[in-house]
Amino acid sequence: MSLVLDPAAQDLLFREARTANTFTDEPVTDEQVQAIYDLVKYGPTSMNQSPLRITLVRSAEARERLVRHMAEGNQKKTATAPLVAILSADNEFHEELPELFPHFPQAKDAVFGDRVIRENSAALNATLQAAYFIIGVRAAGLAAGPMTGLDFAGVQKEFLDDDHTPLMVVNIGKPGEDAWFPRSPRLGYEQVVTTV
């Protein structure tokens, strides 16, 4: 066996895990979300930027506002999921760099003083962290339904500000009845990996 991770954990996180399209009404607690974050915050980012920001949509009023910005096929599941998270990139992440990257505190201005460079880096690294977040949801025994079928400008205007760029919306909860579409194919090793 080439992997150290227990096969049951491999299944939980990858092989058996699926994107959920329906959920039970069992609540997702703040304690569960904190445990997920406290695990996935250790995933690596470039220069420890950590630009991911998570907006939990809990109230009925906020949920209604969000559903209006979702693509038609994503509206019902977003309206009924126990918890919905808007994942965004903080384009002002560099303000925390003196704390997060203390051996090079000048990086805040020397590397990320330019807004365009900062936005590109925030998008890449926050997306990486979003993937960790989805794996963390699975590690909590919950299912995630990440979606990019939405009005990004509308979500930004409704829930964020100009310094936060929405990346995706993730429905979270215990999978409900008929939660899964058939597993889609994956590319084989030989199709992806080359050696030079």
**Residue 8 resides in a domain:** no
Please give the residue range of the domain that contains residue 154. Answer: 25-176
**Residue 145 resides in a domain:** yes
The larger pLDDT score, comparing residue 75 to residue 1, is at 75
**Residue 192 resides in a domain:** no
Complete DSSP assignment for 40-67: HTTS--GGG---EEEEEE-SHHHHHHHH
* pLDDT attached to residue 125: 98
Kindly state the helix (H) or strand (E) to which residue 155 belongs, with its residue range. helix 152-159
**Residue 144 resides in a domain:** yes
**Residue 196 resides in a domain:** no
How many domains does the chain fold into? 1
| CATH code (residue 167) | 3.40.109.10
pTM for the structure as a whole: 0.95
**Residue 80 resides in a domain:** yes
**Residue 195 resides in a domain:** no
Q: For residue range 88-126, what is the model confidence (pLDDT) as tens digits?
A: 999 999 999 999 999 998 999 999 999 999 999 999 999
- Most confident range, picked from 16-20, 31-35, 102-106: 31-35
